[in-house]
């Protein structure tokens, strides 16, 4: 049951990892949560039940952000059950770990990466903006990568980097266009947060040493979720059009020498 005054947040790719941590953080702030997943149905349903225990409404909806028909269906299902979407966190985006040059990608792979990381995000934004304009309030968060705002080349990541860098410009433009409508648009750029660290807390990470990250510890899902939660607050309305690195000082494209090497 949606209570009057509560905000509803749709978080793409939120059954696990950074999206899951963000969902929990926003739920603790009193937001109703839509958990989106592609294949992780069991994890999504379990998270929905955990979130409901925090006293807010929650639902899970399946859909691939790289598919237009899925995007339209997701928004329709959410609106039917929970009403307007007030907060949109565009966390989902395909990333290929395998290193290969652009010439080694086929057309389908190029389209999948580009749609999943830029075009699908733009289409999803276009569907929720009318809801936000109606209320004169909205929060949109895009995901990038470290140093995306510099538009540097990233060898072996050509399609992904191009899509995210395009999203940088879109973020700034949309922020300017929608500011008078009470909608803020920002991009957060997580560092190299991998595996189990995506669902760890800051205190847990402080017990570990990361010799590659300048701050000296690994990044966590909580690091990312805390920034997103802050940007989604009502009193964060003066912060829009920003591209924010959450990286502990790590440059994913041109990494610094490890802490051990710098001390020698």
Helix, coil or strand: residue 190:
strand
For 32-77, how does the pLDDT look when each residue is reduced to its tens digit (9 = 90+)? 999 999 999 999 999 999 999 999 999 999 999 999 999 999 999 9
Contact 167, 241 (CB under 8 A): no
Helix, coil or strand: residue 174:
helix
Average pLDDT, the chain: 93
User: Which residues, at least 6 apart from 200, have a Cβ–Cβ distance to it below 8 Å?
Assistant: 218, 220, 221, 222
Instruction: Please state, in angstroms and rounded to a whole number, the distance separating the CA atoms of residues 237 and 137.
Output: 9
Do the bridges between strand 8-11 and strand 32-37 make them parallel or antiparallel, or are there none, so unpaired? Answer: parallel
**Stretch 22-39: mean pLDDT, rounded?**
98
Q: Which CATH number fits domain 8-263: 1.10.1040.10, 3.40.50.300, 3.40.50.720, 1.10.10.10?
A: 3.40.50.720
Instruction: Please state, in angstroms and rounded to a whole number, the distance separating the CA atoms of residues 200 and 228.
Output: 16
Contact 37, 43 (CB under 8 A): yes
In this predicted structure, the answer to whether residue 257 has a pLDDT above a threshold of 90 is no
101 class by beta-carbon count within 10 Å (0-12 exposed, 13-18 middle, 19+ buried) = exposed
Question: Which of 101, 74, 81 shows the shortest CA–CA distance to 32?
Answer: 81
| Domain residue spans of the chain | 8-263
Which has more pLDDT, 248 or 142? 142
In this predicted structure, the answer to whether residue 2 has a pLDDT above a threshold of 90 is no
For 186-207, how does the pLDDT look when each residue is reduced to its tens digit (9 = 90+)? 999 998 898 999 999 999 999 9
At 4 the pLDDT is: 66
User: Which residues, at least 6 apart from 133, have a Cβ–Cβ distance to it below 8 Å?
Assistant: 178, 181, 183
Contact 174, 122 (CB under 8 A): no
Beta-strand ranges (E) seen in the chain are 8-11, 32-37, 58-62, 87-90, 138-143, 183-190, 243-246
């Amino acid at each position: 049951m949606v209570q009057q005054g509560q905000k509803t947040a749709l978080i793409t790719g939120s059954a696990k990892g950074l999206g899951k941590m963000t969902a929990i953080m926003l739920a603790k702030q009193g937001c109703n949560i839509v958990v989106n997943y592609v294949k992780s149905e069991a994890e999504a349903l379990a998270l929905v039940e955990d979130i409901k225990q925090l006293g807010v409404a929650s639902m899970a909806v399946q859909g691939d952000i790289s598919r237009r028909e899925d995007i339209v269906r997701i928004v329709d299902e959410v609106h039917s059950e929970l009403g307007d979407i007030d907060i949109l966190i565009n966390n989902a985006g395909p990333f290929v770990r395998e290193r290969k040059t652009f010439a080694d990608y086929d057309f389908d792979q190029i389209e999948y990466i580009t749609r999943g990381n830029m075009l699908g995000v733009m289409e999803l934004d276009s569907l929720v903006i009318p809801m936000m304009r109606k209320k004169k309030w909205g929060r949109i968060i895009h995901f990038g990568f470290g140093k995306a705002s510099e538009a540097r080349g990233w060898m072996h990541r050509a399609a992904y980097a191009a899509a995210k860098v395009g999203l940088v410009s879109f973020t700034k433009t949309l922020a300017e266009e929608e500011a008078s409508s009470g909608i803020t648009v920002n991009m957060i750029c997580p560092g190299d947060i991998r595996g189990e660290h995506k669902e760890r807390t800051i205190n847990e990470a402080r017990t570990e040493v990361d010799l590659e990250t300048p701050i000296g510890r690994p990044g966590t899902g909580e690091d990312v979720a805390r920034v997103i939660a802050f940007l989604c607050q009502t009193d964060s309305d003066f912060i829009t059009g920003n591209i924010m690195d959450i990286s502990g000082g790590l440059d994913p494209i041109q990494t610094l020498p490890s802490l051990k090497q710098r001390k020698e």
